[in-house]
Amino acid sequence: MHAPHNPTKNPEINMDLRRLNHLVALADTRNFSRAATQCHLSQPAFSRSVQAAEEELGLQLFDRNALEVTCTDAGAFVVERARKLVFDSRCLERDVSLYRERLIGDLAFGVGPYPAATMMPGLLMELRTRFPGINTRVEVNNANYLAEHLRSEELDFFLANISLVPSAPDLALTRIGRLSAGFYARPAHPLLQQGKTTAAQLLPFGIASVRVPEPILVMLGALMGLEQGRPMPLTIECDDLNLLKTIAMATDTVLACPDAGAVQEVQGKRLVRLDVSDLPPVYNEMGLFALKGRSHSPMAKFAVDYFVKTGAEQAALS
């Protein structure tokens, strides 16, 4: 049963957030049974809630058929706004709880492989020293994974290469700085016996790197003399920078790495930065991504401020 839309009537809408959440759940699951389970309701009670919403609005919000439930045009319009109201409500509950209880809050954030090796160790040491009672969860992964888990509200924010994260209206970006990068090899590497090196001479030894944006690989491929549009090949692509450094120190594999990520290995004479004469400076533009409109807990703000400060310091050294 659906209430027909009456264009001459403008009903007063007084729908609670619980019912709005039911509409969002049904739009996402496209199934009354799954949506009811997600909302911890019996299916009849859930169906009555959705029907009551349609009657209150005077609109049919969903098309029901044997296979799945889909939004009508009106339903898509309502669900989009309901989703924002439900999200804002969760943010309000969280912020009020932090304010009322004066909790500093636990911390969950994500980092790409470069900042994991260059910025995160210092932050974790700061947290353990200054806030020993705080529980911290860190996800080290690629930008797509981190963005997905940020949107599911499992992370407070994440730090990654800006070029790997598509611009989206729900993401707020804070620029952290540019990390200079280069090519590294073990001290006994054959390339170090000949002084300066050209980009093309790197290829026979194989290059190891974390994920690199396609335009940068194509640019490097052109400088290495590859045919137009062909990217620089990566012999090993892995999001664990420490593992890549271990491989480069034990074999003749050449490592593409941010300079800040190889400081200890260079100081310990386990890696050497190659002087590649025909390559321009290479940078990774780092950014911090959070859900737009969501305020940070005090603990998350401490971490964000640390990354902004550290990123500026490392960029100044680049």
Looking at the DSSP bridge assignments, the partners of residue 291 are 171
Return the closest-CA partner of residue 316 out of 213, 188, 175, 179. 179
Kindly report the average pLDDT of the chain as a whole number.
86
pLDDT at 5: 47
Which has more pLDDT, 104 or 81? 81
The reply to whether 17-100 and 104-318 are identical in fold is no
Whether the pLDDT of residue 12 is over 70: the answer is no
User: Cβ distance 223 to 279 under 8 Å?
Assistant: yes
260 vs 95, higher pLDDT: 260
C-alpha distances (whole Å) from 154 to each of 116, 243, 269, 278 are 18, 26, 40, 44
Which residue has better confidence, 143 or 195?
143
**178-218 tens-digit pLDDT:** 888 899 999 999 999 877 889 899 999 999 998 877 888 88
Q: What is the mean pLDDT of residues 268-295?
A: 89
Q: The domain 17-100: what is its CATH number? A: 1.10.10.10
Task: Work out whether strand 272-273 and strand 171-185 pair parallel, antiparallel, or are unpaired.
Answer: antiparallel
Name the more confident of 131 and 45: 45
What are residue 34's phi and psi, to 5 degrees? -65, -40
Q: Is the pLDDT of residue 14 over 80?
A: no
Residue-range domain boundaries for the chain: 17-100, 104-318
Mean pLDDT of 137-148: 92
- 104-318: CATH number: 3.40.190.290
| CA–CA distance, 180 with 261 (Å, rounded to integer) | 10
Q: Is the pLDDT of residue 3 over 90?
A: no
Q: Tell me the average pLDDT across 239-245.
A: 89
Confidence of residue 270 (pLDDT cuts 50, 70, 90): very high
